[in-house]
Amino acid sequence: MSTPQANPVSVLIIGAGPAGLSAAIHLKKNHPELDVVVIDKASGPGHHNLSGAVVESAALERLLNPIELNWQTSEQAKKVLIGQVQQDDLLFLAGKCAAFKILPAIHLAKALGLGFGQLSHRGDWICSLSRLTAWLCELAQKAGVEVLHGFAAGEILWNEQTHLAEGVRLVDQGLDKEGHPQPNFLPGEIIPARIILIAEGCDGQIAEQFIQKAGLRRRSPQLFSLGVKELIKVSPQQYEAFGNGRVVHAMGYPLWTPLIGPGMFGGGILYPMGAEQIAVGMIVGLDYPYYDFNPQDALTLLKQHRWVRRFIEGGKVIEGGAKMIPEGGFHALPRCPQTGSIGKSNVCLLGDSAGFVNMLKIKGIHNAVYSGLAAAEAVGANLDTPAAVARCYTRLLEENGVLKEMASAKNFRQTVAKFGPLQGLPLSVLGDWLPQFSVEPDWKTMRRRRYRLKPAVRFDKDTLTAVAGTAHREEQPCHLTIRNAAVCKEKCQPLFEAPCITFCPAGVYESIQGAVKPANPSNCLHCKTCQRKCPFDNIRWRCPEPNGGPKYKTM
C-alpha cells in the first residue's frame, strides 16, 4: 500500500483539449523517449470541451496526416466528423420573423480584401468538439502519451529566483464543506515537471496565476463572450430539410437591432450533428449592458424565431452546455514584457489559455492545434535548454502564421466593444488602419438598463444542468467565493438586482433570505462567466475537486 515516489515529468501538459493533445501527440511522436503527461480536471475525454464547432480542414490535416494514415476514412473520423461545410448561410435576423441572407456581402468583402472576408466556412469540418477531443485522446494514448483525467492542477510552482516553473500542485481532495480533512483526505500532490504547457482553455486558473507570477502582460484586457448551446433531436424530415453539410450563423435579433436596440455583440449558430440532431447555440459578448439579460434568453428567442423554429420545433433537448470564449484577440495575448514571448522560460500558453481566437473567423480551434504543434516543436528543439522553450514557441507561432492571422483581426472586437455593433461593425472594416482602442473589461460594462426583449418563459436551467450531466462531490468547500458579501447587499442588489442569479447559465446563484449565495455549486458548468461578469468583480472561481463539472458527450 505504499505510494511510489514522484519522478519529475519531462513535459507536463495541463488540459486535454485540442491544443494540449496536439502538442502531446506530436511531441511523443518525435521524441518517444520523453514521458509526456497530460492532466485534465474532467472525469473523462471531452467532458469539458464545448464549441460549435467548425474546424478548418487544413488544421486537421496538419495534425493528423503525420500520425494516422487515411484518417479521413477511419471509423473514428466517420463518427466524429459530421461532414464538410457545403452550404454556409449567414443570416441577418430582423425581428421575430424576418431573415436575410447576407453571405454575398461577405464574398464581396473577401473579394475586396477586407477583414470580414475571413468569415467563410466552406470546406471546414463540422464536428462536436467533445467527440473530436475524445478521439484525440485515443490517438494520444495510442502514441504513448499518458492522458490522465481526474487530476486538477491547483497551483503552478514558480521559482522567483530561477524564473523557472518547477511543477504544479494538484488541488486538495477530501475536504469537507468547512475545509476540514475527511478520512479520505488526499492533499494536493506535487508533480515536478521540467517543461509545462498550459492548455487549460478559456480563463484558465493556472494560466491566469502563471501570468501574474511570471509578470506577463496584456496590452488590452481580455474580453469574453459566453456561448450557450443545446443539442436538439429533431424529426427526420426536419433534419433532412436542414441538411448535413450546412452551417448557419445568424446575426441581429435578438442581440442587435440597429438604432432601436438592443445592441450586443454576438450571434446564433445552427450546426447539424448527425443522427437527426441539430446543435443550436447563442454566443453573446459579455460586454453587454443589460442587468436583467441572460444569454440563454437570447437562445430562447433564437429558437422561437420563425426561420429557426421550423427546423427544431417539437424536438427534444438531449444535451446542453455553456462555455466562455476569449475574444480579446491579438492585443489581449499575454506576453512577457521583456521578450514578447507567449509564456515564459519553460512554460508556454496554448490555445484558449493564451486567447488564440480569431474573431473575424469566429474560430479558434485551428489556432489551438497550430499552437500545440508549435509548442511540440519548441519543446523538442530545447530539451536541454528548457528556459528557452517559450521564446522558441513564440517564434514558431510567428512563422506558422498564427500570430499573423491574429494580427489581421487585431482591432475588430475592440472596435465593436468601443463603439457598439452599429458603428463598430462598419468601422472595423477599416481593420488594420484603426488605432488600438482601449476598452474596459467586461465586468465594468453593466448599466441600469433592461433588456426589452426578455422572453416570458424562463429558461429551464435545471434541465440544462441535468442534460449537461454536471455534478460535483457535494461535501467539499464551495469553489465559488463572493469576496465581499456587503458589496452584493449594499451596491449590487439595489442597483442591478444581483445579475449573477440571472446570467449564470447553471443557476448556481440564488438569493436566500435576501443574501446572494452560490447556493448550488454542484451545478457549475465551469464556464466562469460569474468571475468575469459580476459588475463589481466580486466573484472568484477556483478549481473544485477533479471529476466534477459537466460530462459533455456531443457538445
Partner 1 sequence: MSDYIVLVKQVPDVSQITDNAFDPNTGNLIRTRLPSVINELDAQALAFARRMAFLAGDQKARIIALTMGPPMATDVLRYSLARCADIAILLTDKALGGADTWATANPLAWAIRKIAKEMLQDSQDYYIVAGMQSVDGDTAQVPPQIAEELNIPCVSYITDAHFQQGRFTFTRIISGGSQTVQLRRMPAVLTVAKYEYPLFASFQRTRQASKIPLIQWDARTIQAKAVGVEGSKTRVIRVFPPGKTTRKCQPVHSAKELAQVIAQSLRQASAGEQAQEKGRAAYLLPARRKSPFDRSFEGTAKELEDFQVLTQILQEMKITRLEEITDQVCEKILQDPRVDFHKKALEDMIEGYRLTDPTYKGEVWVVAEQDENGIHPAVFELLGKARELADSLEVQTGVVLAGKSARPLADSLIAAGADKVYLLEHPLLEPFDPFVWRKAVSDVWEKYRPQIVLFAATPQGRVLAPMVSYRTGCGLTADCTGLDIRDSSRKKQIAILFQTRPALGGNVMATICTKDSPCQMATARPGVMKRLDDNPSRRGTIVSHWVQLREEDRSLEILRTEKGTGKVHFDSDCIVSGGKGMQNRDNYDRLLNLLCTAIRDRFAVSVEKGASRTAVEQGFAERIYQVGQTGTAVGPKLYIAVGISGAIQHMIGIANTETIAAINTDPHAPIFKQCDYYLIGSAEQVIPQLAEELRTMG
Q: Which of residues 184-213 bind partner 1 (CB under 8 A)?
A: 184, 186, 189, 191
How far, in whole angstroms, is CA 315 from its chain's centroid?
A: 27
Minimum Å gap between C-beta 186 and partner 1 is 4
Residue 237 found at the interface with partner 1 (CB under 8 A): no
The x, y and z cell numbers of residue 394, run together, are 513564440
In angstroms, rounded to a whole number, what is the distance separating the alpha carbons of residues 76 and 169? 35
Q: Please report the DSSP string for 148-197 in residue order.
A: EES--EEEEEEETTTTEEEEEEEPPEEE-TTSPEEEEEEPPPEEEEEEEE
318 near partner 1, judged by CB under 8 A: yes
Q: Does residue 463 interact with partner 1 by CB under 8 A?
A: yes
Least gap, CB of 450 to partner 1 (angstroms): 20
Please provide the size of the chain in residues: 555
d(CA 164, CA 155): 14
CA 504, CA 443: separation in Å to the nearest integer? 14
The bridge status of strand 347-349 relative to strand 190-198 is: parallel
Question: Is residue 157 near partner 1 by the rule CB under 8 A?
Answer: no
Minimum gap (Å) between residue 397 Cβ and partner 1: 30
Cβ 143 to partner 1, closest distance in Å? 14
Which residue, among 17, 429, 447, 31, has the nearest Cα to 207 in the 3D structure?
A: 17
Residue among 177 and 483 whose Cβ is closer to partner 1: 177
Max alpha carbon distance in the chain (Å)? 69
Site for partner 1 in 117-156 (CB under 8 A): 146, 148, 150-151
Work out which of 83, 117, 144, 174 binds partner 1, going by CB under 8 A: 174
Among 548, 471, 473, residue whose Cα is nearest residue 184 = 473
CB 280 within 8 A of CB 312: yes
Strands (E), 209-260: 224-233, 246-252
Residue type, 223: L
Encoded one letter per residue, x for contact with partner 1 by CB under 8 A and - for no contact, window 287-316 reads -----------------------------x
268/511 Cα distance (integer angstroms): 30
Stretch that binds partner 1, among 289-297, 334-342, 353-361, 505-513 (CB under 8 A): 505-513
Which of 353, 394, 520, 538 binds partner 1 (CB under 8 A)? It is 520
Q: Which stretch binds partner 1 (CB under 8 A): 71-79, 254-262, 483-491, 517-525?
A: 517-525
C-beta of 248 vs 516, nearer to partner 1 = 516
532 versus 553: smaller Cβ distance to partner 1: 553
CB of 533 or CB of 551, closer to partner 1 = 551
User: Residue 462 interacts with partner 1 (CB under 8 A)?
Assistant: yes
Q: Does 551 bind partner 1 (CB under 8 A)?
A: yes
Q: Is 73 in the site for partner 1 (CB under 8 A)?
A: no
Asked whether position 30 contacts partner 1 by CB under 8 A, the answer is no
**Residue from the set 182, 212, 423, 484 that interacts with partner 1 by CB under 8 A:** 182
Contact 147, 21 (CB under 8 A): yes
Interaction between residue 166 and partner 1 (CB under 8 A): no
How many residues sit close enough to partner 1 to count as binding (CB under 8 A)?
41
Residue type, 523: N
Beta strands in 432-519 (DSSP E): 480-482, 509-512, 515-518
Decide: is 338 part of the binding site for partner 1 (CB under 8 A). no
Q: Which is nearer to partner 1, 316 or 444 (CB)?
A: 316
Q: 330 phi and psi, to 5 degrees? A: -50, -45
Smallest Cα–Cα separation from 509: which of 261, 303, 294? 294
**HEC readout, 326-387:** ECCHHHHCCECCCCCCCEECCEEECHHHHCCCECCCCECHHHHHHHHHHHHHHHHHCCCCHH
Binding segment for partner 1 (CB under 8 A), chosen from 93-101, 108-116, 177-185, 386-394, is 177-185
Closest approach of partner 1 to the CB of residue 120, in Å: 34
Yes or no: say if 130 and 554 are a contact pair by the CB < 8 Å rule: yes
Question: Are the C-beta atoms of residues 82 and 242 closer than 8 Å to each other?
Answer: no
Q: Which stretch binds partner 1 (CB under 8 A): 200-208, 383-391, 506-514, 535-543?
A: 506-514
The residues of the shown chain that bind partner 1, judged by CB under 8 A, are 1, 3-6, 37, 39, 44, 146, 148, 150-151, 170, 173-174, 182-184, 186, 189, 191, 316, 318, 458, 460, 462-463, 466-467, 469, 471, 474-475, 510, 512-513, 519-520, 522, 545, 551
